Amino acid sequence: MHTKEEKLQEFGRLLEILDRLREECPWDKEQTFDSLRSLTVEETFELADAIFSKDMLLIKKELGDVLLHVLFYSKIGDESGEFDILDVCKSLCDKLIYRHPHVFGQIEANNAQTVSQNWEKLKLKEKDGNHSVLAGVPRTLPALIKAYRIQDKARSAGFDWEQPQQVWEKVKEELGELQTEIDSMNADKMEVEFGDLLFSVINAARLYGINPENALERTNRKFIKRFNYLENNTLTKGIDLKKMSLAQMDKIWEEAKNAE
């Protein structure tokens, strides 16, 4: 692998390239925090997709795109006199040292759970940090990921089930409440109870060490693969999918499952 000196040299070259782009490229000249924001979100999702696929070459590429955005925001901050990349790095270094007293201080933490609990406590003590446990959960996170993060942060504050299996009673309770509202066909209450059911199922995944986002994405991709198989097998035979019976479609669906 590369030496620290080589890494620093290439990082410096990247900063020089960005400086020149900001000065000479018409598109780069026009970018602002607001104009880059949606692109940053897109690049982050592309990185997440590459990580899910375990494609190392693609992960490397997408990391570069995300890094470019970090440097671009820092460059804009530098131009406005608010901060630069040194300030960003210094702030991060200071935070990492402060939140790892078991590494840089005298605190003992022998497992990941203790580290996580200490991390949240230290965040609450920071002058410019979060003043409540859940304040650090971004409002714009997708709902499924947000639910998982909310539950995980609540756990770090000691708010959690004593045993994982206890959550299943909550899942059953929420399912029963949803069924009650479905029977009464109250659309608003059905939505509320459906949300409660999803929240409890996500909580169950967390308690059993399952990332619900990854689990759902695996199912999404599995469904797409099987549906494409179904669609292709009907098109090649000149059969209209809409005119097939459920039993006919299910037969091809089972073929798709067996072919995996």
At 120-176, the pLDDT tens digits run 777 777 766 666 888 888 888 899 999 999 999 898 888 999 999 999 999 999 999
Q: How many residues does the chain have?
A: 260
pLDDT number for residue 126: 73
The per-residue pLDDT for 119 is 76
The structure tokens listed for 125 are 């003590």
**Mean pLDDT computed over 25-40:** 96
What mean pLDDT is reported for the chain? Answer: 92
Render pLDDT for 69-97 as a digit per residue (tens, 0 to 9).
999 999 999 999 999 999 999 999 999 99
User: In this structure, how many other beta carbons lie within 10 angstroms of the beta carbon of residue 153?
Assistant: 20
Instruction: Note the pLDDT tens digit of each residue in 98-109.
Output: 999 999 988 888
What does 119-133 look like in DSSP terms, one character per residue?
HHHHHHHSTTS-SSG
What is the C-alpha to C-alpha distance for residues 71 and 19, in angstroms, rounded to an integer? Answer: 10
Q: What is the reported pLDDT for 215?
A: 95
Q: Give the pLDDT of residue 106.
A: 85
Pull the structure tokens for residue 64: 């570069």
**Residues 45 and 26: beta-carbon distance below 8 Å:** no
Please report the pLDDT score of residue 112 as a whole number.
84
Which of 49-58, 120-129, 135-144, 200-209 shows the lowest mean pLDDT across its residues?
120-129
The dihedral sign for the CA sequence 246, 221, 138, 148: positive
Type and span of the H or E element at 73: helix 56-79
Residue with the larger pLDDT of the pair 119 and 7:
7
pTM over 0.75: no
Mean pLDDT is lowest, of 11-20, 101-110, 131-140, 177-186, for 131-140
pLDDT > 90? residue 111: no
**Does 229 have pLDDT greater than 80?**
yes
